[in-house]
Amino acid sequence: MNHSPILPILVPFIASIVLLMMSACKLSWQRGVGALAVTLLLAVSVNLLLLADQPAPLVYALGDWQAPFGIVLVADRLAALVVLTMALLSAAVLLYASAGFDGKGRHFHAVFQLQLVGINGAFLTGDVFNLFVFFEVMLLASYILLAHGSGLNKSRAGFAYVTLNLAGSAVFLVALGLIYGTLGTLNLADIAMQLKTVSATEASLVRLSGALLMAVFLLKAAVLPLSFWLPHAYSAAGAPVAALFAIMTKVGIVAILHVQMIAFSAAPVMHGLLDSWLIVAALATIVFAAIGLLSAKSLQSLVAWLILGSAGLLLIVPSLNNELVTAAGLYYLVQSAVVGAAFFMMADLISNARGHIGDAFIITEWASDNKLKLGYFILAATAAGLPPFSGFVGKLMLLFAVKESVMMPAIWTIILIVSLITTIALAKAGSRLFWETPNDLASAPRPASFQHSIFQYSATFGLIAVSLLLVIFAQPLSDFTLRAAEQLHAPEQYIEAVIPHHADIQRGVRP
């Protein structure tokens, strides 16, 4: 019995139970448990990646009830890849948060682990209702983490985020009701099979269910016009939380990819549901993010806009539905999550060192050090998609991959111009933060140098190092994403692995 697909969910789950039990214990003990858990999570994620790198995904039938009757976890290459990315990020975030952020409110460590449970569950599950449940676990954890610490900004952004997502959850449930009410199943592979034989009378309801499902995922993925919440929420959250959120929009994208590629793309009834319009919205999102970048007033909000831009870029993947684009998109997904997280941490490091002015783009005298400058430079160049950093590799792969599309001129123009705008905005921001000094130097006292926590430093620069490794190991990684894309674009294997004897499944007609 190979339990590896469930381990990325169970490890943080058990850790959270332990943390709940010891909620009265000292923070340092909780940190220890958390650290142990993410280390273990990293190990099981690497293991899962190695195991899942095969043509057929790993299937784990919970409760020993076979699909489509029971809930199954399906670890395909995509899921394994994002789970590992998640594990990596969570290790860095936990390290960063352990410098003191975790003590700013109650239950940080337990909720943090549950956040990982939710995200990993959403990545791995092969059942759409179970996906809903894990979405809710993920969302509630993110609500709590967003509110961690205090401040009106957090409450305001939090209330908007929660309300909007609750509306999204309602739509999700309606979609699930429609799916069950027409197809009679909740298992993704089974849905894929059922979609192939939808009768003409049901087509409308089935399409509606698909549209509502996608609308919910698109809300999480923050496509324009559903993206307004993101910059507010991500710039209000505490830095480690924002760093963790760098991968949250990706959950929406991964869900879209799974549902779209496994179930929808081969079904005539879903024809044109997403690919007929999403590219326009994706490009609009990128442009919107660029507008936001230019008007950002602080580094953290600027990074939030960067995250939105990368989300827009990733949405090109489901809208084009092309294997090479998917492969490029997956590389971009990993790199943008890592860089986004590191950038949020960097903003916080800078903010701490600058004292009460924080990361706002206001000129002040402060003791910046060369490490921060170097880190900022690398992150800014990466985010702007300048070589030789991973952002460029990802962008180049995407540009290359979309060359067959009819939308190519628009995609290229927008991506390249937005790259330029990003460069301009980040250069200006860097100049403001690091170079410019107040005019009356005489009156401003020379600030004392700021001592950063070693935890915070190593977490931030660890992620920066990872982003550099993504360039050095671009070849094996892109080979992997190519294989992952191949697997996604050939859903038969997925379906066969989940439900080997599909013809034998009995169905009753109601009413």
Nearer Cβ to another protein (53/202): 202
| Positions 444 through 483 that interact with another protein (CB under 8 A) | 474-475, 478, 482
Helix axes 128-147, 152-183, angle to 10 degrees: 180
> In angstroms, what is the minimal distance from the CB of 70 to another protein?
6
| Positions 220 through 239 that interact with another protein (CB under 8 A) | 225-226, 228-229, 231-232, 235-236
Of the listed pieces 61-69, 82-90, 343-351, 445-453, which binds another protein according to CB under 8 A?
Answer: 61-69
Residue 56 CB-half CA count within 13 A: 11
By CB under 8 A, residue 266 contacts another protein: no
> In angstroms, what is the minimal distance from the CB of 323 to another protein?
10
The single residue among 27, 196, 367, 437 that binds another protein, judged by CB under 8 A, is 437
Q: Which of 164, 34, 146 minimizes the C-alpha distance to 96?
A: 34
Q: Encode burial over 350-385: b for 16+ CB neighbours within 10 A, e otherwise.
A: bbbbbeeebbbbeebbbebeeebeebbebbbbbbbb
| Burial category of 57 from C-beta neighbours within 10 Å (exposed 0-12, middle 13-18, buried 19 and up) | buried
Alpha helices in 259-387 (DSSP H): 278-295, 299-314, 316-320, 323-353, 370-383
| Positions 342 through 401 that interact with another protein (CB under 8 A) | 377, 381, 386-388, 392-393, 396-397, 399-401
| Positions 183 through 202 that interact with another protein (CB under 8 A) | 183-186, 190, 200-202
By CB under 8 A, residue 174 contacts another protein: yes
| Positions 285 through 324 that interact with another protein (CB under 8 A) | 288, 290-298, 301, 304, 324
Nearer Cβ to another protein (28/506): 506
The size of the interface with another protein (CB under 8 A), counted in residues, is 155
Rounded CA-CA distance 100/453 in Å is 9
CB-CB contact of 195 with 127 (8 Å)? no
The single residue among 412, 447, 486, 489 that binds another protein, judged by CB under 8 A, is 412
Rounded CA-CA distance 482/324 in Å is 7
Nearer Cβ to another protein (28/199): 199
> In angstroms, what is the minimal distance from the CB of 86 to another protein?
17
Nearer Cβ to another protein (394/462): 394
What count of other Cβ atoms lies within 10 Å of the Cβ of residue 349? Answer: 26
The single residue among 35, 40, 56, 62 that binds another protein, judged by CB under 8 A, is 62
The single residue among 39, 47, 54, 423 that binds another protein, judged by CB under 8 A, is 423
Q: What DSSP letter does each residue of 94-150 carry, written as one string?
A: HHHHTTTGGGGSTTHHHHHHHHHHHHHHHHHB-BHHHHHHHHHHHHHHHHHHHHSS-
Is the backbone peptide bond immediately before 57 cis, with ω within 30 degrees of 0?
A: no
Greatest Cα pair distance in the chain: 85
> In angstroms, what is the minimal distance from the CB of 203 to another protein?
4
The single residue among 26, 63, 442, 504 that binds another protein, judged by CB under 8 A, is 63
Alpha carbon distances (Å) from 486 to 244, 273, 325, 489: 28, 22, 11, 5
By CB under 8 A, residue 159 contacts another protein: yes
By CB under 8 A, residue 173 contacts another protein: yes
Rounded CA-CA distance 420/433 in Å is 20
How far is C-alpha 257 from the chain's CA centre? Answer: 13
Rounded CA-CA distance 290/279 in Å is 17
> In angstroms, what is the minimal distance from the CB of 215 to another protein?
5
The single residue among 23, 100, 371, 469 that binds another protein, judged by CB under 8 A, is 23
| Positions 102 through 141 that interact with another protein (CB under 8 A) | 105-107, 110-111, 114, 117, 121, 129-130, 133-134, 136-137, 140-141
Rounded CA-CA distance 299/301 in Å is 5
By CB under 8 A, residue 507 contacts another protein: yes
By CB under 8 A, residue 403 contacts another protein: yes
